[in-house]
Chains A and B, each alone.
Chain A
Amino acid sequence: MTPDQIAEYLDHLRDAGERLKKRPIAEVLEILGAVLDGWRDPNSIWRRDLVDRLPTATGFTAPLISEGLGRALGGWTSDALRELAIRELGSLDAIDTASDRRISSFGTTAVLLAGSIPMPSLLALIAPLAVRSPVLAKAASRDPLTPHLVAQSIAEADEELGRCIQVVNFSADDESCICALLEADCICATGSDETIAAVRALVKPPRRLIADGHRLSVAAVVPPKERKDRVDLAERLALDIALWDQLGCLSPIAVFAVASEAAQMTALAEEIAVALATAEKKWPRGEIDPRTAHSIAQQRAEAELRRAAGRAVEIHVSDSTAWTVIVEDGPELRPAPLHRFVRVIPVPDAKQLLGAIQPLGAHLAAVAIEGFGEKTSQLAQALADLGASRVCLPGSLQSPPLDWRHGGRGVLAPLARFTDIEATS
């Protein structure tokens, strides 16, 4: 890939975008809705192709991918897309005809994808098209497959819409190609904070940049007293941890356990360990590199030493590095090696819970909460104030609704240009 090729793609996309703008938005949404419905179907060729080929591309196991896609895409229907558009953009008929409010599309939108989880890529490519902006996407090095399959599925649904999306692969270190890509009118970038800072420095005004850096999620629960309830909660937490091998921004890296008695927390941790062992059988964790395995081993050994030093630390681990549950004795924040490594952190009461989560606030994506009874609403509000853009129940972290305002923004609205027209004839 060369910068000239990227410039050429942008020119072609601009031309295709001019034709796209002339199509009614409802028609475009209908096509994209059909694409989503296709992806929801486990037997669609796109879905089957992804499940077959993604393990090689990303290291995730096929059972995990099947389960993760099934749970995440369940609610991503054509109706949900239409409702999302209406909620964020207004009446679809009015978009094409209204005289008091104009929604314009960007000539081109560049999408810099990151990570290896397919659903964010799917939505990142569909969203600009939904507001009738053609897309030039750079595939993530960790997942060179998904964006191409998504582009193909769109082209199959509608040839002209297919001409409005182009996927390119080049190294993230290739600054000349990045600069060429950033000539698009709107840029959506995801990646590390460092990557986002680098992109931000390169984007020339007046281009719009929509950026998402590091994000993480946690769970905060009151351990149930009844074993049956505890097992149920642990299974849902384990699901959230196991899906996508804890690599997504919606994967909880820690479970804050609000319990007056240590025994309740211990019992919950034991059940989480059992549930993770079961999850490993159903949806085995993917391969990890030596550095990750080393990090897990290191964190386990550190915990062993803290325990040996007399601290109330408990350790539940698989024989391999497949899963790890560490019960800590205090709220100190510690490294999170991910890949199904979770810390259970004791918190004496809900008030101190917020203090424990607060350092993560700026990077918080979602918090799964349960067991707070009548204080649930108040806690959710406080977590929102800390920075969480989603507060949900354990077990549903990995199934965000299509209209989840990731990063606290809308899904479609940031990709469009709104004009309020006050002058009339």
Chain B
Amino acid sequence: MSADPRRAEIDRRILEWMREPRWSYSEKRFEELALELFAFQFEHCEIYRRFCEARSQTPDDVKTWRQIPAVPTSAFKEVDLRCFPADETTHCFRTSGTSTDVRGTLYLDTLELYEASLLPTFRHFMYPEFLLPDDRAMIRVLAPSPTELPDSSLSHMFGVVVDALGEPNSDFDVENSELLFDRVLTLLVESAASEVPMTLCGTAFAFVHLIDHMAERGVLIGLPSASRIMETGGFKGRSREIPRAELYAELKRVLGISPERIINQYGMTELGSQFYDSVIRGPSEPRRKLGPPWARVVIVDPETGHEAATGQVGSIVVVDLANTGSVLSLQTGDLGRAILDGFEVIGREPGADARGCSIGADEILEMGSS
């Protein structure tokens, strides 16, 4: 819990919401907490305060949570955005290395909200059939453990999930950066034979490696029908890149898990909460991303900075009450579109080319800066 009494009180109220057994998407409750948290962060994070002041969007100006100034997630690579003294930092999560050497860092003085947010959300969207607090699943994770990768928020999340929701033999299947194919295949075969449903979690590129390995070995496994997959992240040059629909079709072919039981998780290091595909909860509804009541998404027209019209593609802005120690409103690097009560992430169109020959500038600059 934060040492700052005001922050501690805000944290307490948010934690109370996160720990309620039944979710309530109260707009009023979210508004109150978001504006209060914004005012706190405005006062305690000098960089954020100056950013807001330059935009003339101070707590006096901001009347609804939708007006809270959003900082780009990419800024975490360059500036230190925290609302507590640096010496109270207990954890650092860093973004994965991609095409540049510079990694974004999220500083935390508590993991309480992070964990309180992720667990009920994971359970809500991955296991809607769980009725009892003690319900467990067989979970194998195709990613490094938090012990192996302590600065990875994703590994930390999986660690919390395995501990809280996994049956005793749930564990990680990446060790020393190697995906342990033989062990995974053995467990998958056992799951198929014993009819014990399996939950496979991991990065999208890990699943591509698994598919490729199974193809090389000529192995096809029919997992029990209640099995499911949670995949997240992009490929980032760590495997061949394939469209998600193709990835899901391949997973169905090699593991027998239908796309309706494959969930993409939308999360990032800079966010305390995550969003999940709706398909397990609502298989007959349009696939869309949904989140917990304490995290909201606004699609913003990047041309005007105002909320995009319904169905219009725009920047995904997340307002997340779990981010009490940093900044609650974040402009992600992704484009999206609102769908019903959720949203979809719009990927870069394959084969999309540029209008000019200077389009390589970003790549060149990234190369130059690395």
* Residues from chain B with Cβ under 8 Å of A373 in the complex: none
The answer to whether A192 and B359 have CB atoms under 8 Å apart is yes
Contact of B79 among A248, A251, A309 (CB under 8 A): A309
The answer to whether B72 and A302 have CB atoms under 8 Å apart is yes
Identify which of residues 76-96 in chain B touch chain A, using a CB-to-CB cut-off of 8 Å.
78-80
The answer to whether B358 and A173 have CB atoms under 8 Å apart is no
Count residues on chain B whose CB falls below 8 Å from chain A CBs: 47
Q: Is A249 interfacial (CB 8 A cutoff)? A: yes
Stretch of A3-11, A62-70, A153-161, A334-342 contacting B (4+ beta carbons < 8 Å): A334-342
* Residues from chain A with Cβ under 8 Å of B361 in the complex: 214, 216, 253, 335-336, 338
21 interchain pairs, CB-CB under 8 A: A115-B354, A214-B361, A214-B363, A214-B364, A215-B357, A247-B354, A290-B313, A291-B348, A296-B302, A304-B51, A305-B47, A305-B78, A320-B303, A333-B368, A335-B362, A335-B366, A336-B358, A336-B362, A338-B361, A359-B369, A363-B364
Say yes or no: A298-B72 contact (C-beta < 8 A), given A216-B364, A309-B79: yes
Kindly state the separation between the CA atoms of A217 and B356 in the bound complex, as whole angstroms: 13
Residue-wise, chain B 32-55 has the 8 Å CB interface mask toward A (1 for contact) of 000000000000000111110011
Q: Is A58 interfacial (CB 8 A cutoff)? A: yes
The answer to whether A142 and B351 have CB atoms under 8 Å apart is no
Q: Is A37 interfacial (CB 8 A cutoff)? A: no
Closest to A336 in B: B361
Contact of B363 among A117, A193, A293 (CB under 8 A): A193
Residue-wise, chain A 137-149 has the 8 Å CB interface mask toward B (1 for contact) of 0001110000000
Q: A290-B302, A359-B367 are in contact. List 8 more A-B contacts (CB 8 A).
A: A192-B359, A249-B357, A297-B305, A306-B78, A308-B48, A335-B366, A338-B358, A360-B365
Top 4 A-B pairs, shortest CB-CB distance: A247-B356, A214-B360, A359-B368, A308-B50
Kindly state the separation between the CA atoms of A250 and B359 in the bound complex, as whole angstroms: 12
Q: Is A172 interfacial (CB 8 A cutoff)? A: yes
The answer to whether B360 and A213 have CB atoms under 8 Å apart is yes
Contact of A58 among B50, B335, B355 (CB under 8 A): B355
* Residues from chain B with Cβ under 8 Å of A58 in the complex: 355
Kindly state the separation between the CA atoms of A293 and B315 in the bound complex, as whole angstroms: 9
Kindly state the separation between the CA atoms of A171 and B71 in the bound complex, as whole angstroms: 38
Q: Is A283 interfacial (CB 8 A cutoff)? A: no
The answer to whether A248 and B302 have CB atoms under 8 Å apart is no
The answer to whether A142 and B359 have CB atoms under 8 Å apart is no
* Residues from chain A with Cβ under 8 Å of B80 in the complex: 309
Q: Is B285 interfacial (CB 8 A cutoff)? A: no
The answer to whether A114 and B357 have CB atoms under 8 Å apart is yes
The answer to whether B54 and A304 have CB atoms under 8 Å apart is yes
Assign chain A's interface to a size class: 35 or more
* Residues from chain B with Cβ under 8 Å of A213 in the complex: 360
Most buried by A among B304, B357, B369: B357
Most buried by B among A120, A253, A297: A297
Kindly state the separation between the CA atoms of A337 and B358 in the bound complex, as whole angstroms: 10
Q: Is A294 interfacial (CB 8 A cutoff)? A: yes
* Residues from chain B with Cβ under 8 Å of A193 in the complex: 360, 363
Kindly state the separation between the CA atoms of A247 and B54 in the bound complex, as whole angstroms: 31
* Residues from chain B with Cβ under 8 Å of A246 in the complex: 356, 358
Contact of B72 among A142, A290, A291, A301 (CB under 8 A): A301
Q: Is B249 interfacial (CB 8 A cutoff)? A: no
Q: Is B314 interfacial (CB 8 A cutoff)? A: yes
Q: Is A256 interfacial (CB 8 A cutoff)? A: no
* Residues from chain A with Cβ under 8 Å of B359 in the complex: 192, 214, 247, 338
Say yes or no: A308-B47 contact (C-beta < 8 A), given A247-B356, A333-B365, A338-B358: yes
The answer to whether B71 and A301 have CB atoms under 8 Å apart is yes
* Residues from chain B with Cβ under 8 Å of A247 in the complex: 354-359
The answer to whether B364 and A192 have CB atoms under 8 Å apart is no
Chain A nearest Cβ from B366, distance in angstroms: 7
Say yes or no: A305-B302 contact (C-beta < 8 A), given A116-B356, A291-B348, A338-B356: no
Say yes or no: A192-B354 contact (C-beta < 8 A), given A305-B79, A320-B303, A338-B361: yes
Q: Is B75 interfacial (CB 8 A cutoff)? A: yes
Q: Is A321 interfacial (CB 8 A cutoff)? A: yes
Identify which of residues 108-147 in chain A touch chain B, using a CB-to-CB cut-off of 8 Å.
114-117, 120, 140-142
Identify which of residues 289-346 in chain B touch chain A, using a CB-to-CB cut-off of 8 Å.
301-305, 312-315, 331, 333, 335
The answer to whether B78 and A115 have CB atoms under 8 Å apart is no
Chain B nearest Cβ from A138, distance in angstroms: 12
Q: Is A212 interfacial (CB 8 A cutoff)? A: yes
Kindly state the separation between the CA atoms of A213 and B358 in the bound complex, as whole angstroms: 9
Chain A nearest Cβ from B343, distance in angstroms: 14
Q: Is B74 interfacial (CB 8 A cutoff)? A: yes
Q: Is A307 interfacial (CB 8 A cutoff)? A: yes
Q: Is A422 interfacial (CB 8 A cutoff)? A: no
Say yes or no: A294-B358 contact (C-beta < 8 A), given A301-B72, A304-B51, A333-B369: no
* Residues from chain B with Cβ under 8 Å of A248 in the complex: 356-358
Q: Is B16 interfacial (CB 8 A cutoff)? A: no
The answer to whether B335 and A305 have CB atoms under 8 Å apart is no
* Residues from chain B with Cβ under 8 Å of A321 in the complex: 302-303
Identify which of residues 206-225 in chain A touch chain B, using a CB-to-CB cut-off of 8 Å.
212-217
Kindly state the separation between the CA atoms of A244 and B358 in the bound complex, as whole angstroms: 11
Residue-wise, chain A 306-344 has the 8 Å CB interface mask toward B (1 for contact) of 111100000000001100000000001111111000000
The answer to whether B356 and A117 have CB atoms under 8 Å apart is yes
Q: Is A74 interfacial (CB 8 A cutoff)? A: no
* Residues from chain A with Cβ under 8 Å of B314 in the complex: 290, 294
Q: Is A190 interfacial (CB 8 A cutoff)? A: yes
Kindly state the separation between the CA atoms of A246 and B358 in the bound complex, as whole angstroms: 8
* Residues from chain B with Cβ under 8 Å of A306 in the complex: 78-79
Kindly state the separation between the CA atoms of A301 and B80 in the bound complex, as whole angstroms: 15
Q: Is A414 interfacial (CB 8 A cutoff)? A: no
Most buried by A among B335, B351, B358: B358
The answer to whether A308 and B54 have CB atoms under 8 Å apart is yes
The answer to whether A249 and B302 have CB atoms under 8 Å apart is no
Closest to B70 in A: A301
Contact of A253 among B302, B354, B358 (CB under 8 A): B358
The answer to whether B357 and A212 have CB atoms under 8 Å apart is yes
The answer to whether B335 and A309 have CB atoms under 8 Å apart is no
* Residues from chain A with Cβ under 8 Å of B335 in the complex: 290-291, 294
Closest to B369 in A: A333
Chain B nearest Cβ from A120, distance in angstroms: 8
* Residues from chain A with Cβ under 8 Å of B367 in the complex: 359
* Residues from chain B with Cβ under 8 Å of A305 in the complex: 47, 51, 71-72, 75, 78-79
The answer to whether B351 and A172 have CB atoms under 8 Å apart is yes
* Residues from chain B with Cβ under 8 Å of A142 in the complex: 353-355
Q: Is A401 interfacial (CB 8 A cutoff)? A: no
Contact of B360 among A216, A296, A334, A359 (CB under 8 A): A216
Contact of A298 among B47, B333, B364, B366 (CB under 8 A): B333
